[in-house]
Amino acid sequence: MTTDLERTLAAALRNRADSVPGTPMPVLGEVPPATPHRRGRLLPAAAAVVAAVGIAGAVVALTPDDHQLAPPAHRIGIPADPYELSPGEVYYSRSVRGNGDDDRYIEVEVWQSPRRTGPWQQHAIVGASQRHGRVVPDPHEKPEDTAGTCFPFESAATVGCKQKPSWPVYPSLDFLAGVPSEPGALRAHLRAAAVADAQQLVHDGVLPAGVALSERDLCLRMRSYLEQALAGNGISPALRTAMRKVVASLPGTQVSENVADRIGRRGTGYSLEDPATGERETMIFAGDVFLGTPIEALVHGVAPALGEPPSRLLP
């Protein structure tokens, strides 16, 4: 803990914690167990965060570093369809993130097996600047390398991996392969998922029976599903096009041109305000390619193996 902010933060949290009144531990075994929580709700946030941070969108051109590091295409046998993985190949993605008002960038690379329960690997670095879309590592910050199975979870044994994939929980590769790629059908699919999610809350007694979702709440839910999925792998061009059209069609969406992502790529920004927070979230597309947000740039590709430089990047 080195900064004044961190010290103050720790002190403030301790003060708040100390203000919690003491309560005796109840006698265990005498109270009926609480209503079971929906298991599907335990880890979706982990999925969303890891997906948003660790995996990426798409890019329009190889960076110089990628050209330098990528192995020759003929050695790995690139299929005719760049989105089709050859045996042994894995999805590659990269996220460059920074808030823009300080001098820190984080770059997270992820290699993900096409099998849901297959292995994955992640490499994260921190730096004070970026060059050609790549973070220049801070020599004082050690890179973080992690690995697991069943991305974005640590292993196939985790609760998250055992959950049935869905829009709100985690849209796995096999799940995305089965969703409609026609915009109207996709929108209906998303809307049904958002409504079902709310109905489950009614079923659980969290919401009163008969309550109706506002249109904006539905839209925000649908948009969050799309953003999470677009940040991840396994989106076909047809599905991606449909997803952008759904984003653009959500009521209240404002469209701005020439909006830059974190590494300066520019595209069309689709913004929607969450009335509950007052925050305006912007998704940036170049054509149908999801670039990221004003504080994040996303890149998708294919690598010959876990930990290898990408052999091709995908729009």
Q: Considering only residues 54-83, where is the footprint of another protein by CB under 8 A?
A: 54
Name which of 5 and 80 has its Cβ closer to another protein. 5
Q: How far is the CB of 252 from another protein (least distance, A)?
A: 14
Sign of the CA dihedral with 82 first, then 84, 85, and 91 last: positive
Applying the rule CB under 8 A, the residues between 260 and 289 that interact with another protein are: 275-277
* Nearest distance from C-beta of residue 122 to another protein, angstroms: 5
Cis link prior to 165 (omega < 30° from 0)? no
Q: Tell whether residue 251 is a contact of another protein (CB under 8 A).
A: no
Which of these ranges, 39-47, 59-67, 83-91, 255-263, lies near another protein under the rule CB under 8 A? 39-47
**CA atoms of 57 and 300, how far apart (whole Å):** 5
**φ, ψ dihedrals at 215, nearest 5°:** -65, -40
**Binding of residue 115 to another protein (CB under 8 A):** no
Point out which span in 173-181, 196-204, 230-238, 306-314 binds another protein (CB under 8 A). 196-204
What is the footprint of another protein within residues 87-106 (CB under 8 A)?
A: 97-99, 101-104, 106
156 binds another protein (CB under 8 A): no
Q: Which stretch binds another protein (CB under 8 A): 70-78, 85-93, 204-212, 235-243?
A: 204-212
Distance of CA 231 to the CA centre of its chain: 5
Q: Is 148 in the site for another protein (CB under 8 A)?
A: yes
Strand residue runs (E) in the chain: 90-97, 105-112, 119-131, 134-137, 144-149, 254-260, 266-274, 279-286, 289-293, 296-303, 312-313
Q: How far apart (Å, rounded) are the C-alpha atoms in residues 235 and 185? A: 16
Instruction: Give the CA angle between residues 160, 213, 253 to the nearest 5°.
Output: 90
Q: If binding is defined by CB under 8 A, does position 34 make contact with another protein?
A: yes
Asked if residue 55 lies in contact with residue 93, where contact means CB atoms within 8 angstroms, the answer is yes
* 39, 166, 212, 215, 220 from 199: Cα distances, Å: 15, 15, 10, 15, 16
Least separation, in Å, of the C-beta of 242 and another protein?
26
What are the residues whose beta carbons fall under 8 Å from the beta carbon of 273, sequence distance 6 or more?
Answer: 252, 279, 280, 281
Give 95's Cβ-side CA count (13 Å radius): 27
**Nearest-approach distance from CB 273 to another protein, in angstroms:** 13
Does residue 129 bind another protein (CB under 8 A)?
no
From candidates 63, 78, 118, 126, binder to another protein by CB under 8 A:
126
Is 195 a residue that touches another protein (CB under 8 A)? no
Can you say whether residue 252 is alpha, beta or left, with left for phi > 0 and alpha for psi between -120 and 50 degrees? left
Query: How many other C-beta atoms can be found within 10 angstroms of the C-beta atom of residue 4?
Result: 7
Q: Could you give the string, one character per residue 205-234, with x where binding to another protein holds by CB under 8 A and - elsewhere?
A: -xx---x-xx--x--x--------------
Question: Which residue type occupies 259?
Answer: V
Least distance between another protein and beta carbon 56 (Å):
13
The smaller minimum CB distance to another protein, of residues 16 and 74, is found at 16
Q: Does 108 bind another protein (CB under 8 A)?
A: yes
Q: Is 21 in the site for another protein (CB under 8 A)?
A: yes
Q: How many residues bind another protein (CB under 8 A)?
A: 78
Q: Does 144 bind another protein (CB under 8 A)?
A: yes
